[in-house]
Amino acid sequence: MNDEQLLRYSRHILLDEIGIEGQQRLLQSRALIIGAGGLGSPAALYLASAGVGHISLVDDDTVELTNLQRQIAHTQARIGRPKVESAAEAMAAINPDPQLRTLQMRADAGLLDEWVGSADVVLDCCDNFATRQAVNRACVRHGVPLVSGAATGWHGQISVYDSRSGHAPCYACLFPPDSRFEEAHCALMGVLAPLVGIIGSMQAAEALKVLLGAGEPLSGRLLMLDGKRMEWSEILVQKDPGCSVCQRSA
Protein backbone atom coordinates (compact mmCIF):
# COMPACT_ATOMS: atom_id res chain seq x y z
CA MET A 1 0.00 0.00 0.00
CA ASN A 2 1.10 3.54 -0.68
CA ASP A 3 0.90 6.45 1.77
CA GLU A 4 -2.49 7.59 0.47
CA GLN A 5 -3.95 4.11 0.92
CA LEU A 6 -2.50 3.85 4.42
CA LEU A 7 -4.36 7.06 5.27
CA ARG A 8 -7.56 6.11 3.44
CA TYR A 9 -7.86 2.74 5.15
CA SER A 10 -6.40 3.82 8.50
CA ARG A 11 -9.61 3.07 10.44
CA HIS A 12 -9.55 -0.49 9.13
CA ILE A 13 -5.85 -0.84 9.85
CA LEU A 14 -6.46 0.18 13.46
CA LEU A 15 -8.67 -2.88 13.94
CA ASP A 16 -6.70 -5.84 15.29
CA GLU A 17 -8.71 -8.24 13.11
CA ILE A 18 -7.73 -6.36 9.93
CA GLY A 19 -4.48 -4.41 10.20
CA ILE A 20 -2.24 -3.80 7.19
CA GLU A 21 -2.21 -7.48 6.21
CA GLY A 22 -6.00 -7.72 6.20
CA GLN A 23 -6.42 -4.52 4.24
CA GLN A 24 -3.93 -5.76 1.68
CA ARG A 25 -6.00 -8.93 1.44
CA LEU A 26 -9.11 -6.86 0.70
CA LEU A 27 -7.25 -4.94 -2.01
CA GLN A 28 -6.47 -8.26 -3.68
CA SER A 29 -9.98 -9.72 -3.27
CA ARG A 30 -12.70 -10.18 -5.87
CA ALA A 31 -16.40 -9.62 -5.18
CA LEU A 32 -19.31 -10.25 -7.53
CA ILE A 33 -22.55 -8.34 -6.87
CA ILE A 34 -25.74 -9.55 -8.54
CA GLY A 35 -28.15 -6.61 -8.67
CA ALA A 36 -27.42 -2.87 -8.50
CA GLY A 37 -30.73 -1.76 -6.98
CA GLY A 38 -31.89 -1.25 -3.42
CA LEU A 39 -29.65 -3.90 -1.83
CA GLY A 40 -26.83 -3.69 -4.34
CA SER A 41 -26.44 0.08 -3.95
CA PRO A 42 -25.25 0.18 -0.32
CA ALA A 43 -23.43 -3.14 -0.68
CA ALA A 44 -21.44 -1.88 -3.67
CA LEU A 45 -20.69 1.51 -2.13
CA TYR A 46 -19.40 -0.02 1.09
CA LEU A 47 -17.28 -2.67 -0.63
CA ALA A 48 -15.74 0.05 -2.79
CA SER A 49 -15.14 2.38 0.16
CA ALA A 50 -13.63 -0.51 2.15
CA GLY A 51 -11.08 -1.15 -0.57
CA VAL A 52 -12.15 -4.45 -2.11
CA GLY A 53 -9.82 -4.42 -5.08
CA HIS A 54 -11.93 -6.05 -7.80
CA ILE A 55 -15.70 -5.62 -7.88
CA SER A 56 -18.00 -6.88 -10.63
CA LEU A 57 -21.60 -5.66 -10.99
CA VAL A 58 -24.32 -7.51 -12.89
CA ASP A 59 -27.75 -5.97 -13.60
CA ASP A 60 -29.82 -5.67 -16.76
CA ASP A 61 -31.95 -2.70 -15.66
CA THR A 62 -31.78 1.07 -16.15
CA VAL A 63 -32.27 3.82 -13.58
CA GLU A 64 -35.87 5.04 -13.19
CA LEU A 65 -37.37 7.81 -11.10
CA THR A 66 -39.12 5.29 -8.83
CA ASN A 67 -35.72 3.79 -7.93
CA LEU A 68 -34.42 6.97 -6.32
CA GLN A 69 -36.55 6.57 -3.16
CA ARG A 70 -34.18 3.80 -1.97
CA GLN A 71 -31.42 2.97 -4.49
CA ILE A 72 -28.78 5.34 -3.15
CA ALA A 73 -26.08 4.63 -5.76
CA HIS A 74 -28.17 6.41 -8.40
CA THR A 75 -29.09 10.05 -8.98
CA GLN A 76 -31.67 12.13 -10.79
CA ALA A 77 -29.08 13.01 -13.42
CA ARG A 78 -28.48 9.35 -14.25
CA ILE A 79 -32.11 8.38 -14.97
CA GLY A 80 -32.20 6.26 -18.11
CA ARG A 81 -28.64 5.02 -17.78
CA PRO A 82 -27.75 1.38 -17.00
CA LYS A 83 -27.75 0.76 -13.28
CA VAL A 84 -24.36 -0.93 -13.41
CA GLU A 85 -22.79 2.15 -15.01
CA SER A 86 -24.52 4.50 -12.58
CA ALA A 87 -23.42 2.45 -9.57
CA ALA A 88 -19.85 2.17 -10.88
CA GLU A 89 -19.70 5.94 -11.28
CA ALA A 90 -20.83 6.39 -7.67
CA MET A 91 -18.30 3.83 -6.43
CA ALA A 92 -15.41 5.42 -8.32
CA ALA A 93 -16.34 8.84 -6.92
CA ILE A 94 -15.88 7.46 -3.39
CA ASN A 95 -12.74 5.43 -4.06
CA PRO A 96 -10.71 5.21 -7.29
CA ASP A 97 -8.77 2.14 -6.06
CA PRO A 98 -11.11 -0.75 -6.96
CA GLN A 99 -11.07 -2.16 -10.46
CA LEU A 100 -14.72 -2.24 -11.55
CA ARG A 101 -16.32 -4.52 -14.12
CA THR A 102 -19.91 -4.00 -15.21
CA LEU A 103 -22.24 -6.22 -17.18
CA GLN A 104 -25.70 -5.06 -18.21
CA MET A 105 -27.27 -8.49 -18.52
CA ARG A 106 -29.63 -10.73 -16.60
CA ALA A 107 -27.71 -13.16 -14.44
CA ASP A 108 -28.55 -16.43 -16.18
CA ALA A 109 -26.88 -19.80 -15.64
CA GLY A 110 -24.29 -19.32 -18.39
CA LEU A 111 -23.17 -15.92 -17.19
CA LEU A 112 -23.01 -17.05 -13.57
CA ASP A 113 -20.99 -20.15 -14.42
CA GLU A 114 -18.42 -17.90 -16.09
CA TRP A 115 -18.25 -15.10 -13.51
CA VAL A 116 -18.80 -16.82 -10.16
CA GLY A 117 -15.72 -19.01 -10.50
CA SER A 118 -13.39 -16.01 -10.52
CA ALA A 119 -14.94 -14.41 -7.40
CA ASP A 120 -13.92 -14.78 -3.76
CA VAL A 121 -17.42 -13.89 -2.56
CA VAL A 122 -20.78 -13.37 -4.25
CA LEU A 123 -23.48 -10.99 -3.00
CA ASP A 124 -27.02 -11.85 -4.08
CA CYS A 125 -28.78 -8.47 -4.20
CA CYS A 126 -31.38 -9.43 -6.79
CA ASP A 127 -35.16 -9.35 -6.42
CA ASN A 128 -36.47 -12.64 -7.79
CA PHE A 129 -36.50 -16.27 -6.68
CA ALA A 130 -35.33 -17.81 -9.97
CA THR A 131 -32.16 -15.71 -10.07
CA ARG A 132 -31.45 -16.44 -6.41
CA GLN A 133 -31.60 -20.16 -7.14
CA ALA A 134 -29.33 -19.78 -10.18
CA VAL A 135 -26.80 -17.79 -8.13
CA ASN A 136 -26.88 -20.41 -5.38
CA ARG A 137 -26.33 -23.27 -7.82
CA ALA A 138 -23.32 -21.49 -9.32
CA CYS A 139 -21.85 -20.74 -5.89
CA VAL A 140 -22.23 -24.37 -4.81
CA ARG A 141 -20.71 -25.59 -8.07
CA HIS A 142 -17.66 -23.35 -7.75
CA GLY A 143 -17.33 -23.45 -3.96
CA VAL A 144 -17.73 -19.68 -3.54
CA PRO A 145 -19.36 -18.16 -0.41
CA LEU A 146 -22.72 -16.50 -1.01
CA VAL A 147 -24.08 -13.55 0.97
CA SER A 148 -27.83 -13.41 0.34
CA GLY A 149 -30.17 -10.61 1.33
CA ALA A 150 -33.81 -9.74 0.67
CA ALA A 151 -36.16 -6.94 1.64
CA THR A 152 -39.76 -6.01 0.91
CA GLY A 153 -42.40 -4.04 2.73
CA TRP A 154 -41.22 -3.71 6.32
CA HIS A 155 -39.30 -6.99 6.43
CA GLY A 156 -35.78 -8.04 5.55
CA GLN A 157 -33.54 -11.07 5.87
CA ILE A 158 -29.88 -11.97 5.43
CA SER A 159 -27.70 -15.07 5.64
CA VAL A 160 -24.41 -16.48 4.40
CA TYR A 161 -24.23 -19.78 2.52
CA ASP A 162 -20.69 -21.13 2.42
CA SER A 163 -20.40 -24.32 0.41
CA ARG A 164 -16.70 -24.60 1.25
CA SER A 165 -17.84 -26.22 4.48
CA GLY A 166 -19.31 -29.68 4.13
CA HIS A 167 -21.63 -29.02 7.06
CA ALA A 168 -23.00 -25.64 5.96
CA PRO A 169 -26.40 -25.35 4.24
CA CYS A 170 -26.90 -23.71 0.86
CA TYR A 171 -29.74 -21.37 -0.07
CA ALA A 172 -31.73 -24.27 -1.52
CA CYS A 173 -31.58 -26.15 1.79
CA LEU A 174 -33.78 -23.42 3.25
CA PHE A 175 -35.69 -22.44 0.12
CA PRO A 176 -36.01 -25.51 -2.15
CA PRO A 177 -36.08 -24.67 -5.89
CA ASP A 178 -39.42 -26.43 -6.33
CA SER A 179 -41.10 -24.39 -3.57
CA ARG A 180 -44.37 -22.76 -4.59
CA PHE A 181 -45.12 -19.40 -3.09
CA GLU A 182 -46.36 -16.01 -4.17
CA GLU A 183 -43.29 -13.89 -4.81
CA ALA A 184 -43.52 -10.35 -3.44
CA HIS A 185 -42.03 -7.50 -5.47
CA CYS A 186 -41.46 -4.03 -4.07
CA ALA A 187 -43.07 -2.61 -7.23
CA LEU A 188 -46.37 -4.07 -6.00
CA MET A 189 -45.80 -4.37 -2.25
CA GLY A 190 -43.71 -1.27 -1.62
CA VAL A 191 -40.63 -1.17 0.58
CA LEU A 192 -39.44 1.15 3.34
CA ALA A 193 -36.49 3.06 1.88
CA PRO A 194 -33.93 2.57 4.71
CA LEU A 195 -34.76 -1.14 5.01
CA VAL A 196 -32.81 -2.03 1.87
CA GLY A 197 -29.97 0.13 3.20
CA ILE A 198 -29.88 -1.86 6.44
CA ILE A 199 -29.84 -5.25 4.71
CA GLY A 200 -27.49 -4.18 1.90
CA SER A 201 -25.01 -2.69 4.38
CA MET A 202 -25.09 -5.90 6.38
CA GLN A 203 -24.39 -7.85 3.20
CA ALA A 204 -21.28 -5.73 2.70
CA ALA A 205 -20.23 -6.36 6.30
CA GLU A 206 -20.70 -10.12 5.95
CA ALA A 207 -18.80 -10.14 2.66
CA LEU A 208 -15.87 -8.31 4.27
CA LYS A 209 -15.85 -10.82 7.14
CA VAL A 210 -15.76 -13.68 4.63
CA LEU A 211 -12.92 -12.08 2.65
CA LEU A 212 -10.92 -11.32 5.79
CA GLY A 213 -11.64 -14.57 7.57
CA ALA A 214 -12.61 -12.43 10.57
CA GLY A 215 -15.45 -12.74 13.04
CA GLU A 216 -18.27 -15.24 12.65
CA PRO A 217 -20.18 -14.93 9.35
CA LEU A 218 -23.88 -15.77 9.29
CA SER A 219 -23.38 -19.26 7.87
CA GLY A 220 -26.12 -21.54 9.18
CA ARG A 221 -28.06 -18.60 10.62
CA LEU A 222 -30.88 -16.64 8.98
CA LEU A 223 -31.48 -13.19 10.46
CA MET A 224 -34.91 -11.67 9.89
CA LEU A 225 -35.83 -8.05 10.57
CA ASP A 226 -39.28 -6.76 11.43
CA GLY A 227 -38.88 -3.10 10.51
CA LYS A 228 -42.09 -1.99 12.20
CA ARG A 229 -40.86 -3.16 15.59
CA MET A 230 -37.16 -2.87 14.62
CA GLU A 231 -36.81 -6.35 16.01
CA TRP A 232 -34.46 -9.09 14.84
CA SER A 233 -35.13 -12.80 15.03
CA GLU A 234 -32.80 -15.67 14.16
CA ILE A 235 -33.35 -19.13 12.72
CA LEU A 236 -30.65 -21.79 12.77
CA VAL A 237 -30.48 -23.44 9.35
CA GLN A 238 -29.28 -27.02 8.94
CA LYS A 239 -27.94 -28.67 5.83
CA ASP A 240 -30.74 -30.60 4.12
CA PRO A 241 -29.55 -34.17 3.42
CA GLY A 242 -32.06 -34.31 0.58
CA CYS A 243 -31.12 -30.97 -0.99
CA SER A 244 -31.29 -31.14 -4.77
CA VAL A 245 -28.45 -28.63 -5.13
CA CYS A 246 -25.65 -29.06 -2.59
CA GLN A 247 -26.11 -32.80 -2.07
CA ARG A 248 -26.15 -33.46 -5.80
CA SER A 249 -22.90 -31.48 -6.11
CA ALA A 250 -21.25 -33.26 -3.17
> Residue 8 is which amino acid?
R
pLDDT band at 187 (very low <50, low <70, confident <90, very high): low
Residue 127 pLDDT > 60, yes or no? Answer: yes
Distances (CA, A) of 188 to 123, 147, 153: 24, 25, 10
pLDDT of 244 > 80? The answer is yes
CB 24 within 8 A of CB 47: no
Cα-trace Rg, the chain: 17
| pLDDT score of 181 more than 60 | no
* Half-sphere exposure at residue 144, Cβ-oriented, CA atoms within 13 angstroms: 29
- List of domains in the chain: 3-236 (3.40.50.720)
What does the alpha-carbon distance between residue 95 and residue 75 come to, in Å, rounded to a whole number? Answer: 18
What is the C-alpha separation between 17 and 192, in angstroms, rounded?
34
Q: Are strands 231-236 and 221-226 parallel, antiparallel or unpaired?
A: antiparallel
Distance CA 56, CA 32 (A): 5
pLDDT surpassing 70 at residue 24? yes
pLDDT for position 184: 56
**What are the two backbone dihedrals, phi and then psi, of residue 54, each rounded to the nearest 5 degrees?**
-135, 115
Is the confidence at residue 211, as pLDDT, over 70? yes
Distance of alpha carbon 20 from alpha carbon 181, whole angstroms: 47
pLDDT given for residue 71 in this prediction: 97
**Is 186 part of the annotated catalytic residue set?**
yes
Selecting among 126, 139, 170, 186, the annotated active-site residue is: 186
Residue 77: partners with Cβ closer than 8 Å, 6 or more residues away: none
pLDDT in tens, 88-125: 999 999 999 999 999 999 999 999 999 999 999 999 99
- Span 158-177, average pLDDT: 92
Over 60: is that where the pLDDT of 250 sits?
no
pLDDT above 90 (res 186): no
* pTM, two decimal places: 0.94
